[in-house]
Amino acid sequence: MGKGKLAKFEENKTFSNFFQPHYEDVSAHGFPLRGTWQTGFFKNTNPIVLELGCGKGEYTVGLGEKYPEKNFIGVDIKGARIWRGLKRCDEKNLKNVAFLRTRINNINLFFAPSEVREIWITFPDPQPKKENKRLTCQRFLDLYKRMLVPDGIIHLKTDDTMLYEYTLNEVIPNGKHKLLLHSDDLYKEGSPHLEVKEIQTYYEKIWLEMGKKIKYIRFQLNAE
């Protein structure tokens, strides 16, 4: 591991809005903020919004700036990437943003039932050969349903056509979930979904310059 990464890992520990509990400790003793993120950490009763696979935290920080009336938590396993989000958050003095370093398949250890209002999944690895690792497969949707409020919303933003079509096929059939909005070309002329386009990641900007189409899906999970 390079010295740069080690330095970032050490600096991460100095931020009061960064959490990286050990899996063994949490699984054995629980996570102290589970069920109390609002009052225990953010010191308010504002809605909790997660970004899963947040990477450098560009979307988490951007959402935190745009919606001060909500609390945002970026989740990723890559500590060196989260470091960038922590630095930006610190520079902007954002009090409604935190970062959690953990694997997403362990997410229910950190959030209680009905504790989360929204989930953002922004440009995840599409996992073309491993369906059960896609962040919109049924295995993960079942995890999200446990911690989302009954009318909670999930957002997917991707440049990958396969993942977009796969997710639509999981959401639409048999009325399994409620599709609220979708677009296979978010930035096409006349597209009205302005709020979804206001925040762009570094790679999103590059893909747009390359002429790639950005896709978006907004949906709710059935409570049953």
Length of the chain: 224
pLDDT in tens, 179-192: 999 999 999 877 77
Q: Spell out the residues 6+ positions from residue 80 whose beta carbon is closer than 8 angstroms to its own.
A: 4, 5, 8, 9
Mean pLDDT of 124-128: 95
For the stretch 209-224, pLDDT in tens is 999 999 999 999 975 5
Q: Which of 25, 76, 90, 125 is catalytic?
A: 125
Please calculate the CA angle 130-185-105 and round it to the nearest 5 degrees: 30
The predicted structure's pLDDT at residue 3: 58
Q: What is the tens place of the pLDDT at every residue in 138-197?
A: 999 999 999 999 999 999 999 999 999 999 998 888 777 899 999 999 998 777 776 788
Q: Measure the CA–CA gap between 199 and 160, rounded to whole angstroms.
A: 18
**216 sits in which H/E element:** strand 215-221
State both tokens at 68. 């001060």
pLDDT at 224: 55
Q: Quote the pTM value.
A: 0.94
Sign of the torsion angle spanned by Cα atoms 136, 139, 140, 145: positive
In terms of Cα–Cα distance, which of 89, 92, 70 is closest to 14? 89
d(CA 114, CA 144): 10
The reply to whether 125 belongs to the active site is yes
Instruction: Write the secondary structure of 41-85 as one string of H (helix), E (strand) and C (coil).
Output: HHCCCCCEEEEECCCCCHHHHHHHHHCCCCEEEEEECCHHHHHHH
Which residues contact residue 139 at a Cβ distance below 8 angstroms, ignoring those fewer than 6 apart?
Answer: 132
Ranges of H-type helices in the chain = 3-12, 23-29, 58-66, 79-92, 138-147, 161-171, 194-197, 202-209
* Residue 2, pLDDT score: 55
pLDDT value for 176: 78
CA distance 161 to 177: 20
Q: Distance of CA 202 to CAs 67, 188, 196, Å? A: 20, 19, 15
What average pLDDT does this structure show over 27-49? 97
Q: Is the pLDDT of residue 124 over 60?
A: yes
